[in-house]
């Protein structure tokens, strides 16, 4: 669908977009399993944070796919739900990381680096798959933002692995986990604000239409 990256109102009604969503759903679902296992075995909090993000993305991408073709209000409510879910993931990461600080366990830097590269490759693939649909309504835009943020987060995890190996300290891993939580909160705010604006505009349009028919 050419030119849809300039269309702020693109609502996902495209077979190619549906296929793209299915592809990134599969990629994110597989990476959640891989990265959560790696995070648990390596003791890396940033890998666990990124794994939770993969899980959240898998669920929200499936929701995005389910509401394609629905009313503006339904898609906006779905986006609002995704924003709230992303905020909850952020608070979960903050809580787990704060608890991890008390343990002071040094994560395995090699595992962090290897899995970080694997996750980055997966997210870059998702980013390129979704590139032509990076703009649109809140439902479409939320998918792009999640994939873009994931790629940024993977670079941070890779950098943290090098810092952990160099300093022999768990703090780089913990700091990246906190940064990822902040990134999740920022995206949650952006998605939620756009969704609420769409809801407000839809309610206003409905009121105007009702007034004209009376």
Output the pLDDT for position 56: 81
Q: How confident is the model over 66-82, as pLDDT tens digits?
A: 888 788 888 888 888 88
Name residues of the chain where pLDDT drops below 50.
Answer: 1-7
Q: Where are the domains of the chain?
A: 12-213
Output the pLDDT for position 104: 64
Output the pLDDT for position 209: 64
Asked whether 132 and 4 are in contact (CB, 8 A), the reply is yes
Output the pLDDT for position 37: 94
Instruction: Report the predicted TM-score, pTM, of the whole model to 2 decimal places.
Output: 0.73
Asked whether 131 and 197 are in contact (CB, 8 A), the reply is no
Which CATH number is correct for 12-213, 1.20.1510, 1.20.140, 2.60.220, 1.10.3470?
A: 1.20.1510
Long-range contacts of the stretch 19-22 (C-beta < 8 A, 24+): 20/129, 20/130, 20/133, 21/61, 21/64, 21/65, 21/143, 22/65
What's the CA angle centered on 155, arms 152 and 159, to 5 degrees?
Answer: 140
């Amino acid at each position: 669908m050419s030119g849809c990256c300039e269309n702020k109102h693109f609502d996902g009604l495209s077979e190619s977009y549906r296929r793209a969503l299915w592809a990134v759903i599969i990629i994110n679902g597989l990476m959640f399993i891989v990265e959560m296992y790696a995070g648990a075995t390596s003791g890396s909090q940033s890998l666990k944070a990124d794994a939770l993000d993969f899980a959240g993305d898998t669920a929200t991408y499936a929701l995005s796919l389910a509401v394609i073709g629905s009313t503006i209000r339904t898609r906006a409510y779905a986006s609002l739900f995704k924003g709230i879910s992303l905020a909850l993931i952020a608070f979960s990461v903050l809580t787990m990381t704060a608890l991890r600080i008390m343990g002071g366990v040094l994560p395995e830097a090699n595992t962090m680096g290897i899995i970080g590269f694997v996750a980055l490759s997966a997210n870059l693939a998702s980013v390129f798959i979704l590139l032509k649909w990076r703009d649109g309504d809140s439902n479409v835009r939320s998918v792009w933002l999640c994939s873009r943020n994931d790629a940024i987060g993977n670079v941070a995890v890779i950098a943290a692995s090098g810092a952990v190996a160099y300093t022999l300290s768990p703090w780089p891993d913990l700091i990246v986990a906190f940064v990822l939580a902040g990134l999740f909160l920022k995206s949650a705010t952006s998605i939620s604000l756009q969704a609420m604006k769409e809801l407000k505009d839809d309610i206003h349009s409905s009121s105007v239409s009702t007034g004209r028919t009376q």
